[in-house]
Amino acid sequence: MNRAAHLEYWGARNGIVMGMNHRTHLGRAAIPWVWLGMIVFAVTATAAPKPEYGSLSTAVNTTALEPGKSAIVAIVFDVKEGFHTQSHVPIKSDYIAFEASLEPNAAMTIHDPIYPKGEDHTYSYGKLNVYTGRVTVYVPIDVKSDATPGEIKLTGKVKYQACDDKACYLPTSQKFEIVTKVAAAGEKIEANKPELFKDYEQAVKEQRSSPASAPSTTPPDGRSRAAGPSGDAGWGSWFSKPWFVWPITAILVLMALGMFGLFTFRLPLGVYTIDPRHDTYAGNFLFGILTAILSTPCTAPLFPGLLAWAVLQAKSGGRVVGVGVITMVGVGMALPYLLLSAFPEVARRIPRTGAWSELVKQMMGFLILGVAAYFAGQQILPGNQFMWAVFVVAVAGGIFLIVRTAKLMPRARPILIASIMALGVSWGSFSLARTLNKPAAISWIHYSDQPLADARAQNRLALVKFT
């Protein structure tokens, strides 16, 4: 018996479907549906407007800039009602700080911005130091004595992360442009919008009296986090970082394309010909190792990250959690063999390699592609609209399932079963996307005494929510 024949015999005798090693025309049939889903997702992402959680305005404290003199730029950001942003000095170093900046300009020297103090608030996810309402940042500038008279443009941007009382959203930025002028000799200069600059001196005193300190290393929500690449960012927070999410998404898309048959990954044939005995402890142990090796094409992209997380948990004192998670991975891999050993009749009914097992593999590809859409959608689409990307993948997978079933078994009953399954998955994902994106029934505002007093004066019902 040659090596290839032994491979087929070993796989059939053990009831193992090795679909990753068989390229068929069925895999190519899935590719158009994958591209259709990706195109629809891309169009949806491109059409989605960039979310803005506040309005931005700017001003200079004088009607013109006088050469050789100082001036002040006010950058005013009005946070939308119901939202807040992290302050410039957030309570933890891996939180996104509020930043306002002016681009360098040859006609002036730009000094460090002067930020207002944040306020401590406690939300459902913990205590934060935040900005709410109007945020005014002052930027002192010194106009050079040789600045050329005439119109001048100052540009800059504000970067922040907005949150409501339930969740935080992707960090974003808003750009601004200030058009002013450098005054000519003898030109009259007057104060501009003095109400914006009345608190400037007080802001300077506060910043001098309370220099920014290092953020606390204790999470405000009380949850333990393992150290990550930055020293304090845990595994959970990595999924909010584009540098982590996009590679994971690319890996998932590649895995899905492999499941669709676009390419194959082959281990050396010698690995498949190993046949350990099943009636000894050593044989079962070796068989478990072999199973882990055979699962490499599916587990290799994600398991190292999980293993690293478990190691970090152990280093931070969570040895039981780290070891427990890795143990559960092994239990999950071994459970099918345990069940099939306990119920051998079920093992005999498992389909061998062929068209139907290939279809099952391709549907798993749609499942992986749905996970990729979930991660990518959160980076591109605002709010909970990422679930619509998952819905697109579910619909594409459902259509593919019906079409392939009709070709493999053109009878009413199989097609009906496939249609019910496709409809169930599509409707479920549609319902979830619609529920997550449903407008809030109540427009909440942050509590203060004045709105409550106004409601009482107008004899209106006021609902106060405590969290």
pLDDT of residue 316: 61
pLDDT over 70 (residue 128):
yes
pLDDT of residue 317: 63
pTM metric for this prediction: 0.41
pLDDT of residue 214: 38
pLDDT of residue 182: 92
The residue-averaged pLDDT of 256-282 equals 71
pLDDT of residue 127: 83
pLDDT over 70 (residue 160):
yes
pLDDT over 80 (residue 312):
no
Q: Among 49-63, 151-165, 231-245, which is the least confidently predicted range?
A: 231-245
Per-residue pLDDT of 35-55, as tens digits, reads 555 554 454 444 444 566 889
3-state secondary structure labels for all residues of 201-232:
HHHHHHHHHCCCCCCCCCCCCCCCCCCCCCCC
pLDDT of residue 278: 66
Q: Among 145-159, 265-279, 318-332, 345-359, which is the least confidently predicted range?
A: 265-279
Per-residue pLDDT of 71-109, as tens digits, reads 999 999 999 988 999 899 888 877 889 999 999 999 999
Per-residue pLDDT of 398-414, as tens digits, reads 999 999 999 988 899 98
Per-residue pLDDT of 320-335, as tens digits, reads 887 888 888 888 878 8
Between residues 216 and 452, which one has the greater pLDDT?
Answer: 452
The residue-averaged pLDDT of 440-464 equals 81
pLDDT of residue 199: 87
Per-residue pLDDT of 240-261, as tens digits, reads 678 878 888 888 888 888 888 7
pLDDT of residue 48: 45
Per-residue pLDDT of 407-449, as tens digits, reads 988 899 989 999 999 999 999 989 988 888 877 666 777 777 8
pLDDT of residue 227: 37
When mean pLDDT is compared over 260-269, 338-347, 420-429, the highest value belongs to: 420-429
pLDDT over 70 (residue 3):
no
When mean pLDDT is compared over 306-315, 351-360, 377-386, the highest value belongs to: 377-386
pLDDT over 80 (residue 310):
no
